[in-house]
């Protein structure tokens, strides 16, 4: 059980992902960007070259920060958005790195959301058989989820994230001031991942979310991000490659089996990933009710927090049978068995194989 929620604001928070010689720090808060600049200056003084892949929208909106970064790193801009996570961009970036004589001792920097982080991390993992990289996340989703844990990758026409690697960053610097320019809908989508962490393993965080409406400038946001990163860091330290037979890193997929099916069946781009995961968590909560009799009121509590964050809680025009089929095709479904993360209580979760008839009946209820 987590400690009670502590009010926190102003200072920078540091925590660590423990992976023996690949352990790394996560710096969160107002000031993390300056901490990153200091680290890059040291790297440059040690004759390392630094090459930054920056989200073009971030570069346009944070010109002063980019100018400061350009003193230590060469900057290359790429558009955010899912279509940038492509093998074509991997090839393009690798060619640029080679042309610029970026060597094995050099470091890449990912400045952007999950798209830039996943793409740059993947390039860092394959260029010259792997070079170092840093994560500077600029979306809430990237701060609480994608920048931590070392999953990198790109999409191919056959599916999302089908080409990828595990490659941990040297450090993560999550400066919350970047969130001031993040569109409201993207912020809300990131909140879905915060809610996910709370339901999975942090009852105190969940209670705080029931009481407060977090925004990018809310004094409790950095503490909420820290709690999500801490949960992810603990899970990743124990099961880096998601090989645990039960629980482990797979717990982070709470709401995702339903969520991926929603994204696919509604057509990619109609729901943001976080929006689909939010509804997915509600469906998973119904499933837990049906199977084991989850703590009463869970479903309504999750629904009310999702609503408060401006996330959708209903779906229409999707067919239950199509969604079930999409789940069987999901790359996380192994040997034809559907596995779900179930939270019987807020703050406690487990993984379980579930019969397709139970899943179908939850889908039919939900889509009625």
Ligand X SMILES: NC(=O)c1ccc[n+]([C@@H]2O[C@H](COP(=O)([O-])OP(=O)(O)OC[C@H]3O[C@@H](n4cnc5c(N)ncnc54)[C@H](O)[C@@H]3O)[C@@H](O)[C@H]2O)c1
Annotated active-site residue in 160, 167, 196, 273: 273
User: Is position 115 an interface residue for ligand X (rule: CB under 6 A)?
Assistant: yes
Can 230 be counted among the known catalytic residues? no
Quote the least distance from Cβ 98 to ligand X, whole Å.
25
User: Would you say 280 and 259 are in contact if contact means Cβ atoms under 8 Å apart?
Assistant: yes
Place of tokens 């990018």: 216
The answer to whether 129 is a known catalytic residue is yes
* Smallest separation (angstroms) from ligand X to the CB of 23: 18
Q: d(Cα 256, Cα 260) in Å, to the nearest integer?
A: 6
- Judged by CB under 6 A, which stretch of 1-9, 26-34, 139-147, 165-173 contacts ligand X? 139-147
Measured CA to CA, the distance from residue 244 to residue 248 in angstroms comes to 5
Is position 271 an interface residue for ligand X (rule: CB under 6 A)? no
Of the listed pieces 106-114, 206-214, 286-294, 337-345, which binds ligand X according to CB under 6 A?
106-114
Nearer to ligand X, 277 or 363 (CB): 277
- Known catalytic residue at 151: yes
* 141 lies in the binding site for ligand X (CB under 6 A): yes
Cα separation, 227 vs 194, in Å, equals 9
Confirm whether 27 is a catalytic residue: no
Which range, of 43-51, 144-152, 196-204, 210-218, touches ligand X by CB under 6 A? 144-152
Cα 74 to Cα 133: distance, rounded to the nearest angstrom: 14
Alpha carbon of residue 138 to chain centroid: 12
Q: Which of residues 28-67 bind ligand X (CB under 6 A)?
A: 55, 57-58, 61
CA–CA distances in Å: residue 322 to residues 258, 331, 367 = 12, 16, 12
Smallest separation, CB 145 to ligand X (Å): 5
Cα–Cα distance for residue pair 279/238, rounded to 1 Å? 28
- 180, two tokens: 């001031």
Which residues lie below 8 Å from residue 232, measured CB to CB, with a gap of 6+?
144, 145, 148, 149, 197, 252
Task: Closer to ligand X by CB, 139 or 298: give it.
Answer: 139
- Beta carbons within 10 angstroms of residue 157's beta carbon: 6
Report the distance separating Cα 140 and Cα 186, nearest Å.
8
Contact map string, positions 62 to 101, toward ligand X, x by CB under 6 A: ------------------xxx--x----------------
Q: How far apart are CA 199 and CA 196, in angstroms?
A: 5
Catalytic: 234?
no
**∠86-87-89 over CA atoms, to 5°?**
70
CB of 241 to ligand X, least distance (A): 12
Nearer to ligand X, 298 or 349 (CB): 349
Nearest-approach distance from CB 361 to ligand X, in angstroms: 29
- Please state, in angstroms and as integers, the Cα–Cα distance from residue 81 to each residue in 159, 205, 272, 304, following that order: 16, 29, 11, 29
What is the 8-class DSSP label of residue 317? S
Residue 239 interacts with ligand X (CB under 6 A): yes or no? no
Binding of residue 167 to ligand X (CB under 6 A): no
Q: By the criterion CB under 6 A, which residues form the site for ligand X? A: 55, 57-58, 61, 80-82, 85, 112-116, 118, 138-139, 141-142, 145-146, 149, 151, 161, 178, 181-182, 186, 273
> Which residues are known to be catalytic?
129, 151, 193, 232, 242, 249, 253, 256, 260, 273
């Amino acid at each position: 059980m987590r400690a009670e929620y502590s009010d926190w604001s102003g200072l920078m928070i540091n925590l660590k992902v423990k992976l023996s010689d690949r352990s790394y720090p996560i710096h969160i808060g107002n000031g993390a960007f300056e901490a990153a600049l200091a680290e890059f200056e040291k790297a440059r003084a040690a004759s390392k070259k630094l090459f930054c892949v920056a989200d073009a929208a971030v570069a346009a909106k944070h010109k002063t920060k980019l100018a400061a970064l350009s003193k230590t790193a060469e900057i290359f801009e790429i558009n955010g958005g899912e279509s940038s996570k492509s093998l074509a961009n991997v090839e393009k970036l690798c060619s640029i790195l080679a042309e610029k004589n970026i060597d094995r001792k050099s470091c890449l920097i990912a400045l952007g959301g999950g798209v830039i982080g996943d793409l740059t991390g993947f390039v860092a993992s394959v260029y010259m058989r792997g070079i170092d990289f840093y994560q500077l996340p600029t979306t809430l989703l990237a701060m609480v989820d994608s920048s931590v844990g070392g999953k990198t990758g790109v999409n191919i026409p056959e599916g999302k994230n089908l080409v990828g690697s595990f490659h941990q960053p040297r450090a993560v610097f999550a400066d919350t001031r970047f969130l001031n320019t993040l569109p409201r809908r993207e912020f809300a989508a990131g909140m879905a991942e915060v809610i996910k962490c709370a339901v999975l393993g942090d009852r105190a965080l969940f209670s705080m979310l029931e009481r407060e409406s977090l925004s990018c400038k809310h004094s409790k946001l950095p503490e909420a991000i820290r709690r999500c990163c801490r949960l992810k860091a603990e899970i990743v330290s124990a099961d880096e490659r998601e090989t645990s037979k039960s629980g482990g890193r797979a717990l982070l997929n709470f709401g995702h089996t339903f969520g991926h099916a929603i994204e696919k069946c509604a057509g990619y781009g109609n729901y943001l990933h976080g929006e689909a995961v939010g509804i997915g968590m509600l469906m998973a909560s119904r499933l837990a009710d049906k199977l084991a009799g989850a703590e009463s009121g869970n479903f309504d509590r999750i629904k009310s927090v999702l609503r408060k964050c401006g996330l959708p809680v209903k779906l229409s025009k999707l067919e239950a049978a199509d969604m079930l089929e999409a789940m069987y095709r999901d790359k996380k479904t192994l040997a034809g068995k559907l596995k779900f993360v179930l939270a019987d209580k807020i703050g406690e979760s487990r993984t379980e194989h579930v019969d397709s008839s139970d899943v179908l009946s939850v889908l039919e209820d939900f889509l009625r």
